[in-house]
Chains A and B, each alone.
Chain A
Amino acid sequence: MGYRLDINGTVHEVDVPGEMPLLWVLRDELGLVGTKYGCGKGYCGACTVHLDGAAVRSCLLKVAGVGAAKIHTIEHIGTSATGERLQRAWLAIDVMQCGYCQAGQIMSACALLGRSASPSDAEINAAMSGNICRCGCYNRIRGAIRIAAGLKEEADHDA
């Protein structure tokens, strides 16, 4: 059955079962592979996308449930001012190791800054605790969010 999806400002018609999670529509139907599969159960956040600006786990979101909502993915996030600031902050302190989770991290961070322009560390921890970084880049993820928010960076230099 067919669905019309508004993804990154473009409407796509897809013919897939309504039960298929959005993640697999993005990856296997539309070739938007920046959004990652990590657990398939909403535990790790690697698949985070924006649904009308809110961070959601695309591995749990059935395509039939998307409706007219606007979807944004990592491929498009740099076109928003906040997304672009986050990408620059991520590179300024080179947040990543393997990098596999970082699309999801940036999407969650972007949603956080969308609702709280100057989050406290406690807010950052809470908002980001659904995103696993297996490499343990958490200090720098926190630091990059602070940089993007115009806050002071967490100490992250060697002695």
Chain B
Amino acid sequence: MTPEPLSRAARERRAVLKASLLAGGGLALDALIPLPASALAEARGETGAPAELSAFVAVAADGTVTIVSKNPEIGQGIKTSLPMIVAEELDCDWSQVRIAQADLDPARYGEQYAGGSTATTRDWLPMRQTGAAARAMLLQAAAQRWRVSATELTTARGHIFHRASRRALGYGEVASAAAALPPPDLAHLTLKDPSQFTLIGQRVVGIDSARIVRGAPIFGVDTRLPGMLYAVYEVAPACGGRLVKAHVEAARRAPGVKHVIPIVGNGDYDSGLADGVAILATHWWLANEARAQLAIEWDLSAARGHSSSVYRAQADAAIARGPQEDLRVDGDPAGQLAAAAKRVAARYDYPFIAHAPLEPQNCTARFSDGRLEIWAPSQTPQRGVAALEKALGIAPAKVTLHLTRSGGGFGRRLMNDYMIQAAAIARAVPGVAVQLIWSREDDMRRDYYRPAGWHSFEAGISERGELVAFTDHFVTFGDGKTTARAAGYNIAMPPAGLVPHLRYSQSMMPTVVNTGALRAPGSNALAFASQSFLDEVAYAAGTDLPRLMLALLGEPREIAAPANGVPFDTGRAGAVIARVLEICDWEQQPAGPQRAKGFAFYFSHRGYFAEVVEASVAGSEVTVHKVWVAGDIGSHIVNPMGAENQVRGAVIDGLAQALAGQAIEFVDGAAQQSNFHDFPLARMPLAPEIEIAWVRSARPPTGLGEPALPPVIPALTNAIFAATGTRVRSLPIRLHTA
């Protein structure tokens, strides 16, 4: 595979490979490699990612290979899959590999981040180059020792062979000698032919799995430090609430309580430090129990009127009034709608939902001699350190941050509010280690929620049954200029670019509710609304959704995305649609009353996914029998063991959002749901059989944390329509018994 062209900025920035002698003997290789242009396009965005990747690999004298995993591990499997890419090109045996979790060290590792399904896209080529560079140096050292040309040597499973003289040695034997050699020029480095891969594509067990099944202490919440106290942080019961007065004497006298500390935040409720009262005790349960002894006066006036019922009424009014702004207009949608042989119109909506990772938000902090040490399960540790400086004035140079494994992320740990709180509490008790843990109720009520949204669609169909015009008026949250976090539209969303006459427009309403990215942000909701409505269009046009989509996609071609976004390849889309129809035997409708298949397609985070759900309905009960998934995330599935888990997890996540009754309702800015009884997650009986087929297109592999989720929800709602004739236009699904 030819390496992709580099962007100009990246070309100007030469790769830097630094070899050094490992303590105790061996080769340590630090690599700083410019990213390919395609990876840059993906990596751009929220964080202003650097144009290079940094990697670290070490080969010890005993042959042990240590690969540093720089990104946070949140269950997406990156701590296993990225080192696999290095090990593949290094050509060592996976059993020789040790993986070390990096602390936060931007100077050394550049971006350390888990979000947006970006890591595989960014790091595929540089990780291969790093492994290949280390291998080349080991080969060169062996060639010098044997006084032969490196081209006569081959490698396999961590050994170097000279077949002509029947000599062999292990990597460790020449690792120290390799450390003294100049690193190779990346431009002349030969990468493996992918047909020679021995590790990529193999089912590899997660690097931490053996420790997990033994209950080893590897999560943030498992951090234990001498003399550590446990903390809770009581904040206002409604979004944006301010502390007026805290009566803390009774809480101070509660069993086990050591400190009660009112903290006035920095006024930035959204991404800074919220006002609150910290309770520190010898055991977390005692700290949490003492909350009942607090008497706090809050100013909740900012949140008055911010209720779900009010938002719904405002959205209705906005739709009646018409859009505030156009986001995209192609052709003459109004004229073509008016002239259409048939018109279809429908409104769709979905609620706020919470992330609810199973490990509650937590962070351990110790502030001593002006320095802050942090142990955090965070998806964005770099942003956390920046937020610490902004909220607390603690300079990044004074912060040491250890990355712990996260008990789930789903986008919640992109935000670091708990880290700022833990640091503020720790600073109030210098020298004492503090572990802040949120209760489940705290987590449910202080989320950065997937924003609710409303859509008013209209479509025009020609005499010949073609979709000729498509409009969507999206009602979302924002200040009138900018949409709230993760509440924006996607103007590239199909059928944009596929229909000649199209209008995407928007209205905003203000909110005090903190919103944020939840797995497949934007797409997780937009897919439901747009693919369900397109199913209505297909039905009205006398066809079905896969046929309509294939007709819209037309000939294989790339459609450029606005604002240098990721282009959309209609050929890849068509291929996954064709594949899923094949594996589910689409034309064969299932036997049984009120039982049918539904289809949907979506493209997000560079992944193409077509999914079919077979469901049946009895009264108000929906049963999902089977889900078929066809996905294209490029030429290779790095670790199918993890990849299949990501797909099944995404499917089950989507089914739970639709079927389990997930919705956060607000009354005067206060979330009404508090725990898993009123915000239910998927449980085992919900999990259907899930069949996965990969379409391996000739593109570098991309990420998989997110793109399998969006299509499953409309595939389900479309199945319910096919089974019952009832359209589901609002989430969560609530069917009424006829």
Contacts and interface: CB of A to CB of B under 8 A. Distances in A.
A155 B689 contact: yes
Nearest to A89: B213
B683 interface: yes
B360 A97 contact: no
A38 B439 CA distance: 8
24 contacts: A28-B285, A31-B224, A33-B217, A35-B215, A36-B219, A41-B676, A74-B214, A75-B214, A77-B215, A94-B641, A94-B645, A98-B407, A98-B408, A99-B218, A129-B684, A132-B683, A134-B410, A135-B645, A136-B653, A136-B656, A138-B687, A140-B645, A159-B692, A159-B693
Given A28-B284, A96-B75, 6 more contacts: A33-B221, A38-B358, A98-B406, A103-B212, A132-B681, A139-B687
B284 A24 contact: yes
Contact of A39 (B224, B440, B656, B690): B440
Interface in B272-321: 282-286
A111 interface: no
Contact of B216 (A24, A34, A132): A34
Contact of B359 (A100, A106, A139, A141): A100
A129 B687 CA distance: 11
Interface string B666-679: 00000000011100
A32 B215 CA distance: 9
Nearest to B655: A136
B230 A99 contact: no
Contact of B694 (A43, A75, A86, A159): A159
Interface in B678-708: 681-687, 689-694
A66 interface: no
Residue among B285, B356, B405, B646 with the highest chain A CB neighbour number at 10 A: B285
Contacts of A17: 255-256, 286
Which applies to chain A's interface (DSSP): helix, strand, loop or mixed? loop
A94 B642 contact: yes
B396 interface: no
A16 B283 contact: yes
Contact of A136 (B359, B406, B682, B694): B682
A52 interface: no
Interface string A122-159: 00110011111111111111100000000000111111
Nearest to A141: B684
Interface string A41-75: 10110100000000000000000000000000111
Given A39-B675, A98-B359, A159-B692, A75 B215 contact: yes
A20 B283 contact: yes
Given A41-B440, A44-B676, A141-B684, A20 B285 contact: yes
B76 interface: yes
Contacts of B440: 38-41
Interface string A87-119: 100110011111111110010000000000000
The interface size bin for chain B is: 35 or more
Residue among A38, A101, A124 with the highest chain B CB neighbour number at 10 A: A38
Interface in A1-46: 16-17, 20-21, 23-24, 27-29, 31-41, 43-44, 46
Interface in B391-409: 405-409
Interface in B628-647: 637, 640-646
A137 B645 contact: yes
A44 B439 CA distance: 13
Contact of B74 (A16, A46, A98, A106): A98
Contacts of A158: 637, 640, 643-644, 692-694
A20 B687 contact: no
A46 B283 CA distance: 19
A39 B516 CA distance: 22
B649 A136 contact: yes
Contacts of A40: 439-440, 675
Contact of B219 (A28, A73, A100): A100
A21 B442 CA distance: 19
A99 B212 contact: yes
A36 B656 CA distance: 23
A30 B356 CA distance: 27
Contacts of B439: 40
A137 B684 CA distance: 9
B648 A137 contact: yes
A77 B358 CA distance: 22
A21 B288 CA distance: 12
A98 B682 contact: no
B208 A99 contact: yes
A139 B649 CA distance: 9
Given A34-B217, A94-B642, A99-B407, A125 B685 contact: yes
A75 B239 CA distance: 40
B224 A33 contact: yes
Nearest to B360: A37
B209 interface: yes
Given A36-B221, A128-B684, A134-B356, A100 B407 contact: yes
Contacts of B691: 155, 159
B77 interface: yes
Contacts of B208: 99
A87 B213 contact: yes
A34 B213 CA distance: 9
